[in-house]
Structure 1
Amino acid sequence: MNQKMQESVIKSLLDWIEKNLHHPLSVDYVASKAGYSKWHLQRIFKEHTGMTLGDYTRGRRLSESATILKITKRDIYDIALEYGFDSQPHFSRAFKKQFGVTPRAFRKSETLDTKKFFAPIKYKKELSLEADIVTLEPMLLVGKRKEIPSKVGENEYFDFNSRMKIWDDHFINLRDKPTKLIGLVEYISSRSSRQEYAFQYTAATAPSDANNPVNNEELITIEKGKYVKFHYDGAMDGMQDFLYNIYSVYLPKNKMIRRKGEDIEIYKPLMSSVKNHDINCQYFIPIL
């Protein structure tokens, strides 16, 4: 098998693994699906990625299960079975080996430590994200929170259609020329289902830009804190991949710890450009 063909096989295999993380994904199983001998597949996988096939699939399954632990109230036993572990003790041992804590302790922590997450390999595709570490001063905002339930696997929290519906309602309470528009993002367990999570979004502005905040909205205080800051300038449909790459690739690769708090979006120019499917946004994630 020549080099180009090997690269094609590994790329297809990486894509297939991401779509099948709920399966046991043993080396024998993956090799049989790929149509190659176990020995041959393991050899070319390590040659092209720098890690063994078994380590990669196990690391990705545990990383995905860690996300589910954080954003849902799903039973740990159910999560273990869903990600191919034959028992909760087996899952807990593997989880503690990778993350250094038990699944229960990981769930209870107020931070999200991404240092031990396995980022999905974007084969032959460099991630072009630039970021700065900044400190934001306190902000007083006026806004209205809305909780959007979503099923796991449906990336509602990266979808801008949901945001636009909330902003449409918020525009009713704005003066003609607000100085800036700010979105606050938080991922929480769903109140209605142990199996789901919720995407809580707040459309906010400075108090001077809102009409009747007491009757329609609430005052929100953002405390001074440390953030990693990103910038996106482009089409609305590209924002979803941008946010996914931040959380699934950039934070783990840079071993960052997300602290308690909300992500902050600051739009410039104003939302009128977003309605024309063009986004210029600064995106801040709270970190330690």
Structure 2
Amino acid sequence: MEHHEVIENALIYIENNIQHPLSLESVANSFNMSKYYFHRLFSAMMGCSLNHYIRSRRLNASLTLISNDNISLTEIAYQLNFGSPSSFTRAFKQQYGISPSSIRGHEKKLPQEPIPQVVKRPIKNINGDIVTDFTLTDFEATRVTGIAFEVDLATDDYKMKIRSHLDMLVENIDSTSNGPCYVIYSNCHQNSTRFNVLAGIPQDIPIDKPYHFTIDVPQFFCTKFKYFGDLLEIGDVLITDFARFLKISKQEAEVTDIELIQVFENIHIFDSVFHIYVPIKKLPIDSEL
């Protein structure tokens, strides 16, 4: 069984047993795995500890129970294994910013979240730590031609906007054109919700549109990650993976205009394998990894 399948099954197991006592040892034993290895694997894949995840899902389950006026908050606390009503209330406030009693009886309810998606990617073991597999490499200088646009996370449906421009790019190239597609994210300024995106290919393509753009991406040193699936569904996973990479590999992020580059193997397929290149500083330790 692949590691992502183990975690997917673990999430289902937790959901089906959310009202029962759950521990690292009990969940790991259900998959015949060492609790130490399972802990490292779960943390690497989900970006949080198993205990933190279980508590979050118990709180998620409590939202349905709270809407039932026939069950007291004390009963909910013990039913979901919080130990005491005060522990339940404290954890609820930490996750949702309000107390469970404040939403009881109100028409507006907090929505339940589905079981999170497990992002598929290869992993590696470094000195006992599990981390998303990475390669230290140079991104070769490349001329990219395509469609440039700006995204504002505060106002845009960024997923829809990026998808629509990718579709626009495909519509403006020859259907027989094959090869990689680049999505370049740049100028992601601190404390700003705006950034620039260029979706293009390493070919000269004539696009009779005002947003047609050609840039020369310089060579830079980077870490390269490999993911499987939808490019826009990795969300905070990449942030967590990169933070773990920096910590475990003792590397440093490089401050550049280019934040990251996603490279797809096929311009016509955006839901399979893709690589992400993130600029980092070239340190002497690189040769030891």
TM-score (ref. length: structure 1): 0.48
Q: Which structure's CA Rg is the greater one?
A: 2
Structure (1 or 2) with the greater helix fraction? 1
